[in-house]
């Protein structure tokens, strides 16, 4: 079973990799033998995680990237391949879900920003890396979606719509890049990462008692099992899947 999840010799690229669930995935991949590219908007935050990976004896590359900009996506891919010569695992984890008062308060700039980070970036990176994987030795693409994509909420319409698009891309990219590339999606529920700092936690905890089977929010490291499954040979016959990791939301 240990060999089934072994990532020795693999190279993983993780967007949103400097904090929260992305950081936990980076460290888990490194613990299982992978070299890692950490991408997020702030280079210093990426470099801090890269230092942790290097301390584990693995190679790491920190790249400042705003995934809503295709030029940044292109540059990230070029840097990864220039440094390591390949990418075996791509995780599209970068996300954004700002709060707003009412629907008409959502400006065009905000709408475009939410769609850019949550949908446009995964599309571009998935397309670029998926084509190279398909032309080479294959690989695994892991998208990170949200239960907001399936359970529309009155406070996250642009976000939920973008994440629904990610679910769709997962299925279509699985067919586009199969059979050598597996493309899967983690549909994440409420995780208590930095995003939860803006929540009314008392109200959330009360609501969790009746709307979540586990009656609590998730911890960032609880995403690791699903990520390792999709990244490794353990999921060799799994593609186009959308796996809920949501505490039974």
Task: Let me know: does 245 contact 18? Beta carbons within 8 Å.
Answer: no
45-69 pLDDT, tens digit each: 999 999 999 999 999 999 999 999 9
Please list the residues that pair with 191 across neighbouring strands.
218
| Total domains in the fold of the chain | 1
239 — pLDDT class (breaks 50, 70, 90): very high
Least confident of 71-80, 131-140, 214-223: 214-223
Residue 196, pLDDT score: 61
142's tokens? 């892991």
The domain that contains 40 carries what CATH number? Answer: 3.40.50.720
- From residue 47, alpha-carbon distances to 31, 87, 112, 185 in Å are 17, 19, 28, 26
From 234, 223, 230, select the one nearest 24 (Cα to Cα).
223
pLDDT at 197: 66
Sign of torsion, CA 20 109 115 71?
A: negative
Q: Which residues are catalytic?
A: 159
The pLDDT tens digits of the residues spanning 149-189 come to 998 777 789 999 999 999 999 999 999 999 999 999 999 98
For residue 2, pLDDT beyond 80: no
User: CA torsion sign, 216 to 158 to 142 to 73?
Assistant: negative
C-alpha distances (whole Å) from 153 to each of 5, 73, 107, 159, 244 are 36, 30, 18, 10, 17
- Which among 34, 33, 29, 30 is positioned nearest to 11, based on CA atoms? 34
Whether the predicted pLDDT of 1 surpasses 80: no
Q: Are 21 and 40 in contact (CB under 8 A)?
A: no
- Model confidence over 180-232: pLDDT tens digits? 999 999 999 888 877 666 667 788 788 878 888 888 878 999 999 999 999 99
For residue 149, give its domain range: 3-245
């Amino acid at each position: 079973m240990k060999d089934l999840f072994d990532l020795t010799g693999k190279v993983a690229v993780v967007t949103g990799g400097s904090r929260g669930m992305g950081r936990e995935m980076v460290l888990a991949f490194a613990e299982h033998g992978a070299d890692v590219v950490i991408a997020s908007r702030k280079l210093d935050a990426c470099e801090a995680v890269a230092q942790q990976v290097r301390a584990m004896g693995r190679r790491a590359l920190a790249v400042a990237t705003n995934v809503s900009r295709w030029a940044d996506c292109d540059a990230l891919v070029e840097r990864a391949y220039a440094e390591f010569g390949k990418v075996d695992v791509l995780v599209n984890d970068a996300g954004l879900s700002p709060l707003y008062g009412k629907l008409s308060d959502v400006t065009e700039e905000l709408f475009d920003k939410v769609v850019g980070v949550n949908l446009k970036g995964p599309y571009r990176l998935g397309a670029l890396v998926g084509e190279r994987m398909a032309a080479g030795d294959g690989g695994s693409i892991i998208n990170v979606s949200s239960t907001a994509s399936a359970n529309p909420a009155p406070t996250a319409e642009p976000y939920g719509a973008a994440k629904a698009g990610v679910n769709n891309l997962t299925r279509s990219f699985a067919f586009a890049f199969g059979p050598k590339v597996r493309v899967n999606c983690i549909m994440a529920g409420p995780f208590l990462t930095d995003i939860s700092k803006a929540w009314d936690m008392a109200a959330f905890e009360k609501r969790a008692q009746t709307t979540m089977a586990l009656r609590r929010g998730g911890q960032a490291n609880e995403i690791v099992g699903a990520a390792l499954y999709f990244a490794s040979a353990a999921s060799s016959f799994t593609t186009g899947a959308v796996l809920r990791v949501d505490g039974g939301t």
